[in-house]
Structure 1
Amino acid sequence: MNTKAFASHADTEVKKVTFEQLSEHAWAYTAEGDPNTGIVIGDDAVMVIDTQATPVMAQDVIRRIREVTDKPIRYVTLSHYHAVRVLGASAYGAEHIIASQDTYDLIVERGEQDKASEIGRFPRLFQNVESVPAGMTWPTITFTGKMTLWLGKLEVQILQLGRGHTKGDTVVWLPGERTLFSGDLVEFDATPYAGDAYFKDWPYTLDAIAALKPANLVPGRGAALKTPEQVAAGLAGTRSFIQDLYQSIAASAQAGKDLKQAYKEAYAALQPKYGQWVIFDHCMPFDVTRAYDEATQYPDPRIWTAERDQAMWQALEG
């Protein structure tokens, strides 16, 4: 019987990194659909947004920052709690790790399980995983709704615009340059991972991002979006995937179909439009399972564990 390799175990291709300046104080570290990192270089300090998955991988970000500035890396901001975004934090030696209170609460509730689950799913993204210190990456500053930092004269707004990818989603906004770092609320030519998502809320959160009118945007995955037109395309693509998937699953659930049947139908419906996006096959079982949960009896995402991952994969792909 032909079965797919679990999650992204078959994914071994190393991606080419791009490090580019988007506006006076904003830089993007992107890698062909692998998780992105954002960098803000203020008057007196540097902020890193999302850390890479391990301290060894973070060293490459630091090396590139040092090619353009010797200012201290004082702040790390977490767009959300997922291991692939936070486990590299220790490498930066930052004075402060900033996250929403909702993200902090999720780390308390499910950080250990999420870490084990993600490392098991996506081995390539956790290079030199033994370099990750024991325990969790703990924020030192939390906020609710909005927080403003001043890096000298540079205004940096850290905002919760709504739930989507997780309940703690946080964006970083440079109002003076209209540059936004969205985390995984926005992807570009990459499949949104929605295993911990709020499908019904996500489109409204994208509306709130659009209302800021970003001139450029660093998505969670995919190339940096450098014009308002590209930003609009990134928002539209993310929105259509989330809505198409949820509508398909909600219809299946309403018709009394089980998870496996709902998955087959959603996969067939979405594959022609989105199948070429990075990590489509990886994300679909997790995304469908969460959408089915939300459409039936679980308003909040259930905790993923390594065991639950494997059981779900067997049920849908075995």
Structure 2
Amino acid sequence: MPTPPNQLADRNPAAAPDAARLEEVRPGVHAWVQPDGSWWVNNAGAVGGAEGLLVIDTCATADRTQRFLTALADATGGAPIRLAVNTHQHGDHTYGNSLLPAATVLIGHEEMREGLRTDFIIDGCPAFWAPVPDWGPIERRLPDVAITASTTVYVGERRVDLLHPGGPAHTTGDLVAWLPDDRVLFAGDLVFAGLTPLVFMGSVTGALAAVDWLADLEPEVIVPGHGPVLVGGEIDRVLNEHRRYYEFVLALAEGGLARGATPLEVAGAVDLGEFAGWADAERLVLNLHRDYADRAGQEIDLVAALCDAVTWLGHPMPTSV
């Protein structure tokens, strides 16, 4: 088995919580960008209107979420947070929900709500990651409004379409926040800019189809779930990278199944090629487990998949959270 990248050494040292920044991508539309975007270090955002804000996602820890909310209050003169939406169930986008004002109406897909309701990691993170994250003083807070497909909300006069890709992609309950008048797309984890995508709780084929679905919106700005904000030609470049990566995973899975190899064995023999420089490369193992399970018509064994990812890497998965 080739030696996986030493991600502990390759981490961006500017990944501390105070490295995060609030970027105004359109007047009144903000992206909260957290370097280095690897495990548990996500992006969030907010959309402003005459009477308040819509917040898009929170962060994994109380500290990181509070930094986001404080920066947002400073930038908007303390505008009230009327609405919030979670793009999916994962804790880096949801664990900070309980720091939102009690009066904020929280929206999520019904599959996302159920996923967070049954999530055990919020109660104590297992040692698949190092250092083991400490979420801080947070509580499980579920959406008040659960939608089954898509809906539209208004922040003052600003229209925000909350759209579901139509099937499993990153997870089964993904939503994006699309501002059609501003051409701004908050893509959640349907887009990882410069990092290895993760779909082990969704679908590789669904994630591939979702790339075209996102492109058809013709956004001028994409705020990805992880990584820098994308504009102009960066959008096509990153979406095309996603297409090639998912096709790469599907081809590996097909070949591995044909010769009776396990996901770990397939990943152990592979040359990552153009994707070798991406952080969190061990997600290949998780994504292969996903596609193997889907082809067999079975549920994925999440614990076995995570164990294999750690085995491939040779140590727990690093995080900067």
**Which residue number corresponds to residue 22 of structure 1?**
25
Q: Give percent identity, aligned residues only.
A: 21
Query: TM-score with structure 2 length normalisation?
Result: 0.84
Partner of 2:47: 40
What residue number does 1:293 align with? 293
Quote the residue 1:168 is aligned against. Answer: 173
Task: State whether residues 199 and 291 of structure 1, in contact with CA within 8 Å, keep that contact through their aligned partners in structure 2.
Answer: yes
> What is residue 262 of structure 2 aligned with on the other side?
258
Structure 1: 5+ residue runs without aligned partners? none
2:281 corresponds to 1:276: no
Out of 134, 137, 142, the residue aligned to residue 131 of structure 1 is 137
State whether structure 2 residue 209 is matched by structure 1 residue 204. yes
8 A contact 2:204–2:291 mirrored in 1: yes
1:1-318 equivalent positions in 2, closer than 5 A: 13-15=13-15, 16-34=19-37, 35-69=42-76, 70-93=78-101, 95-108=104-117, 110-112=118-120, 114-115=121-122, 120-123=127-130, 126=133, 128-133=134-139, 136-162=140-166, 163-227=168-232, 229-265=233-269, 268-270=270-272, 272-281=273-282, 283-298=283-298, 300-302=299-301, 304-305=302-303, 308=304, 311-313=307-309, 316-317=312-313
- Give the SS at the match of 1:237: helix
Q: Do the aligned residues in 1 keep the contact of 2:86 with 2:94 (CA within 8 Å)?
A: yes
> How far off its partner does 1:278 sit?
2.1
Letter in 2 for 1:28: A
Q: Counterparts of 1:201 and 1:244 in 2: how far apart (Å)?
A: 14
Superposed displacement of residue 174, structure 1 = 0.6
1:175 corresponds to which letter in structure 2? P
Q: 1:168-198 CA deviation, whole Å, 9 max, x = no partner?
A: 1100011110100000101110111222120
State the Cα distance separating 1:9 from its structure 2 match: 11
How has the CA–CA distance of structure 1 residues 101 and 8 changed in structure 2, closer, same or farther, with 3 Å as cutoff? farther
| Change in 2 beyond 3 A, CA 1:151/1:19 | same
* Compared CA separation, residues 4 and 201, structure 1 to 2 (3 A): closer
Tell me which amino acid in the other structure corresponds to 1:33.
Answer: D
How far apart are 1:3 and its partner, in Å?
8.8
Deviations 1:130-170 (A, max 9, x none): 3122xx33110111221111111111111102321111110
CA contact (8 A) 2:249 2:284 kept: no
**Once superposed, what is the RMSD of the aligned Cα atoms?**
2.9
Which amino acid is 2:244 matched to?
A: S
What is the CA–CA distance in structure 1 between the aligned matches of 2:179 and 2:55, rounded to whole Å?
13
**Kindly tell me: are residues 6 and 97 of structure 1, through their superposed partners in 2, closer, same or farther at Cα, counting changes over 3 Å?**
farther
Judging by fraction of residues, say which structure has more helix.
1
3-state secondary structure, aligned to 2:88:
coil
* Equivalent AA in structure 2 for residue 143 of structure 1: I
Q: How far apart are the structure 2 equivalents of 1:199 and 1:259?
A: 14
**Shift in Å, 1:80:** 0.5
Distance across 1 between alignment mates of 2:128 and 2:138: 17
